[in-house]
Amino acid sequence: MFKPVMLALSLTVSASAFAAPSNEPIQPIQPAKVTNQAKVELGKQLFFDPRLSKSGFISCNSCHNLSMGGSDNLPSSIGHNWQQGPINSPTVLNSSLNLAQFWDGRAADLKEQAGGPIANPMEMGFTHTLAVDVLQSIPQYRESFKKVYGKNAIDIDQVTDAIAAFEETLVTPNSRFDQWLKGDKKALNKDELAGYQLFKDVGCTACHNGSAVGGNSFQKMGLVEPYATQNPAEGVAGLTGNDADRMKFKVPTLRNVELTYPYFHDGAYWNLEEAVDVMARLQLGRKLEQKQIAQITAFLKTLTGEQPSFALPILPPSTAKTPRPQPFN
Amino acid sequence: MFKPVMLALSLTVSASAFAAPSNEPIQPIQPAKVTNQAKVELGKQLFFDPRLSKSGFISCNSCHNLSMGGSDNLPSSIGHNWQQGPINSPTVLNSSLNLAQFWDGRAADLKEQAGGPIANPMEMGFTHTLAVDVLQSIPQYRESFKKVYGKNAIDIDQVTDAIAAFEETLVTPNSRFDQWLKGDKKALNKDELAGYQLFKDVGCTACHNGSAVGGNSFQKMGLVEPYATQNPAEGVAGLTGNDADRMKFKVPTLRNVELTYPYFHDGAYWNLEEAVDVMARLQLGRKLEQKQIAQITAFLKTLTGEQPSFALPILPPSTAKTPRPQPFN
């Protein structure tokens, strides 16, 4: 009974994909295909578990809050001991569609990314070894990892793999714009449509394209006119040492951009209208009129998709053997 | 069609209540009866919304984490600017059953309690006025409050009322112990039953009784033998100035005690076995044997009930008018 249903679903998805205008620079977000539910459930627990931090207080969800567009809505994040992070937390939503992770792309994929904050002294302030020790001390975690990975010992590779598997489910299909792309011509109003036309005509789609409306290239922030910022981040140049890579950052996705303020790598702009104005001037040398900005912003708000919906995970309790959190030392 | 179903449900609950042995000092937890679903949903959003804090980072759920037994599993909580809280965060689970709120009972009920942390400079570090300003700037919140309270302006009374309504749903029925109480004699094993018998015989039920297994009286911590602690909290004496009230604290609920470590008002004990040993010595003048401690602990673990299960709430986005969070100043 189950297989024919899956087949029908798969045919529906294909039909929808065909319905999307092939000449548009933006493609609809595809729903997540979960192949290993147990791994996703384990990853979800880990994503919400603050015991992966030294303090026992900070989880992945602290800065990539799934109640708030997968971001923390702060210019830069609060880390261990209330340290101020160096850069704006990118949304975890649709992050599986990025060509690489972090603003400078220093992690190839979500699995590699997931290990970063755990061991970063400015963020979760822990070590991979200690995080694994915590998980290994909890019988329910041992059981879940064994079920998913078939090994007797937990290692950091399994931890980051499970977190990445959960994050891959965090896509936001069925936005009003995607409904329009798939053929529902009533899904957008006149201003939103005009905004989309402007978005293409002005040249935004040169970088903000594909299903994530971004996330698939590195570009210089301040191409036509330099970007004025207090933030010392150098972008890709921080990795390559190449002058040509200075201020080159991964183009952020514009999916759910209404939810992921403040904007840019320094989180300096809180209003989407202002961010649109700045981008048009600095990247494209265009001074947009207020009405144009309002229309593009109206279009951008149609990119808010269905937010991931799931029950808050319940975490297995620590045991007498679990290393204790160290919030204040 | 709907009413007869509700009636049947109500009859079932009554039948279960009758099935509980009337001569036991502990009664089963009753499931929550939601009379105003819209208010509960609004309260759930507020409970998870870090914009009720100055930093935009700390929500009710930060220290009463519903993934972790409604507590933060820290000796004392982390507040604004990583300040160390003065006392262990009590669980929010079944807190509607407490005779009063906070360890010293200084809030009469959940509604009064909910306003405390928002405005406490050591906790969320905000003010009631600013918190209301934030909510008032968000159209979806304005709409939800109007729907629930029928007024054009949000005030702190509505905010704390909605949070309290959500918290009232956070009960944990159907623990194995409650199944046993309701007549399922196979719900507990021999050691757990022996532990319950000891729990009564030794005298724990003098204070830990009722459906919350505590929460219904204030008692002196260190009745027979003084409690050694670095924590300066004076209990009820801090409110009354009465010497007789020194070290008098609200007896904590033992429901879900397996999940709410570390224990006591100073969070000094991480292992339930040790906490049982300390309580028996200091409150009852009894030195328990290891086996007795193990049996009582086994019984206590049968008090873990069904954890509240609900979809992670999605929060409405801020607007250009929303006061910005101030995490670092």
Confidence of residue B169 (pLDDT cuts 50, 70, 90): very high
- Torsion sign over Cα B46, B49, B55, B58: positive
**In percent, how much of chain B has pLDDT > 90?**
93
**pLDDT of A235 above 50:** yes
Select from B67, B78, B318 the Cβ nearest to the Cβ of A312: B67
Q: Model confidence over B249-297: pLDDT tens digits?
A: 999 999 999 999 999 999 999 999 999 999 999 999 999 999 999 999 9
Confidence of residue A20 (pLDDT cuts 50, 70, 90): low
Select from A78, A307, A314 the Cβ nearest to the Cβ of B327: A78
Nearest to B327 by CA among A249, A89, A173: A89
Please tell me the CATH code under which domain B33-167 is placed. 1.10.760.10
3-state DSSP: chain B helix, strand, coil percent, rounded to 5? 45, 5, 50
The conformational region for residue B114 under phi > 0 = left, psi -120 to 50 = alpha, else beta, is alpha
As its CATH architecture, domain A176-301 has Orthogonal Bundle (1.10)
Burial of residue B18 (number of CB atoms within 10 Å: 0-12, 13-18, 19+): exposed
Tell me the H-state helices in A49-94: 60-63
Is A208 marked as binding a ligand? Answer: yes
Confidence of residue B237 (pLDDT cuts 50, 70, 90): very high
Nearest CA of chain B to the CA of A242: how many Å?
33
* Chain B residue closest in CA terms to A66: B314
Is B80 marked as binding a ligand? Answer: yes
> Is B196 in the A-facing interface, judged by CB distances under 8 Å?
no
Nearest CA of chain B to the CA of A307: how many Å?
8
Burial of residue B290 (number of CB atoms within 10 Å: 0-12, 13-18, 19+): exposed
**pLDDT of A73 above 90:** yes
- pLDDT value of position B142: 98
Give the ipTM: 0.93
Task: Determine the average pLDDT of the residues in A112-137.
Answer: 97
Task: Determine the average pLDDT of the residues in A39-68.
Answer: 98
Is B265 marked as binding a ligand? Answer: no
- pLDDT value of position A1: 31
Select from A84, A311, A317 the Cβ nearest to the Cβ of B259: A317
CB contacts of A273 in chain B (<8 Å) are 320
Tell me the H-state helices in chain A: 2-19, 37-48, 60-63, 110-119, 128-136, 139-149, 156-167, 176-181, 190-202, 237-240, 272-284, 290-301
User: Rounded CA gap, A313 and A310, in Å?
Assistant: 8
**Maximum separation of any 2 CA atoms in chain B, in Å:** 64
**Residue A157 contacts residue A296 (beta carbons within 8 Å):** no
**pLDDT of B63 above 60:** yes
Q: Coil, helix or strand for A281?
A: helix
**Residue A265 contacts residue A87 (beta carbons within 8 Å):** yes
Select from B51, B84, B311 the Cβ nearest to the Cβ of A311: B311
Interchain proximity A55–B78, CB inside 8 Å: yes
- pLDDT value of position B22: 65
Counted across chains A and B, CB pairs separated by less than 8 A come out at 97
**pLDDT of B60 above 90:** yes
> Is B227 in the A-facing interface, judged by CB distances under 8 Å?
no
Task: Determine the average pLDDT of the residues in B9-14.
Answer: 40
> Is B311 in the A-facing interface, judged by CB distances under 8 Å?
yes
Is A207 marked as binding a ligand? Answer: yes
CA angle A95, A101, A102 (to 5 degrees): 110
**In percent, how much of chain B has pLDDT > 70?**
93
User: Rounded CA gap, A281 and A137, in Å?
Assistant: 54
Burial of residue B240 (number of CB atoms within 10 Å: 0-12, 13-18, 19+): middle
Known catalytic residue: B143? no
- pLDDT value of position B21: 58
**In percent, how much of chain A has pLDDT > 70?**
93
CB contacts of B273 in chain A (<8 Å) are 320
Is A6 marked as binding a ligand? Answer: no
**pLDDT of B56 above 90:** yes
Q: State the first-to-last Cα distance of chain A, in angstroms, to the nearest integer.
A: 57
Task: Determine the average pLDDT of the residues in A287-309.
Answer: 98
Select from A50, A311, A315 the Cβ nearest to the Cβ of B310: A311
**Residue A89 contacts residue A162 (beta carbons within 8 Å):** no
**pLDDT of A71 above 80:** yes
**pLDDT of B8 above 90:** no
Burial of residue B193 (number of CB atoms within 10 Å: 0-12, 13-18, 19+): middle
User: Rounded CA gap, B21 and B181, in Å?
Assistant: 6
Task: Determine the average pLDDT of the residues in B167-181.
Answer: 98
Burial A91-125 (b: 16+ CB within 10 A, else e): bbbbbbbbebbbbbbebebbbebbbebbbeeebbb
Interchain proximity B314–A84, CB inside 8 Å: no
CB contacts of A53 in chain B (<8 Å) are none
Task: Determine the average pLDDT of the residues in A306-320.
Answer: 97
Is A80 marked as binding a ligand? Answer: yes
Element spanning A66, H or E: none
Q: Exactly one of B41, B123, B167, B168 is catalytic; name it.
A: B123
Nearest CA of chain A to the CA of B312: how many Å?
5
User: Rounded CA gap, B302 and B296, in Å?
Assistant: 10
> Is B169 in the A-facing interface, judged by CB distances under 8 Å?
no
Confidence of residue B66 (pLDDT cuts 50, 70, 90): very high
User: Could you give the count of Cα atoms lying within 13 Å of A120 in the half-sphere of its Cβ?
Assistant: 18
Task: Determine the average pLDDT of the residues in A8-21.
Answer: 44
User: Rounded CA gap, B95 and B62, in Å?
Assistant: 17
Specify the fold of A34-167: Cytochrome Bc1 Complex; Chain D, domain 2 (1.10.760)
- pLDDT value of position A329: 80
Q: How many CB atoms lie within 10 A of CB B103?
A: 24
User: Rounded CA gap, B306 and B311, in Å?
Assistant: 15
Q: Model confidence over B67-123: pLDDT tens digits?
A: 999 999 999 999 999 999 999 999 999 999 999 999 999 999 999 999 999 999 999
3-state DSSP: chain A helix, strand, coil percent, rounded to 5? 45, 5, 50
Nearest CA of chain B to the CA of A74: how many Å?
7
The amino acid occupying position A33 is K
Q: State the first-to-last Cα distance of chain B, in angstroms, to the nearest integer.
A: 57
Q: Residue A269's beta-bridge partner residues?
A: A263
Interchain proximity B57–A62, CB inside 8 Å: yes
Is the peptide bond between A316 and the residue preceding it cis, with omega within 30 degrees of 0?
A: no
Nearest CA of chain A to the CA of B287: how many Å?
21
SS (H, E, C) B213-243: CCCCCEEECCCCCCCCCCCCCCECHHHHCCH
Confidence of residue A21 (pLDDT cuts 50, 70, 90): low
Q: Exactly one of A24, A112, A123, A143 is catalytic; name it.
A: A123
- pLDDT value of position B329: 80
Interchain proximity B318–A261, CB inside 8 Å: yes
The domain ranges of chain B are 33-167, 176-301
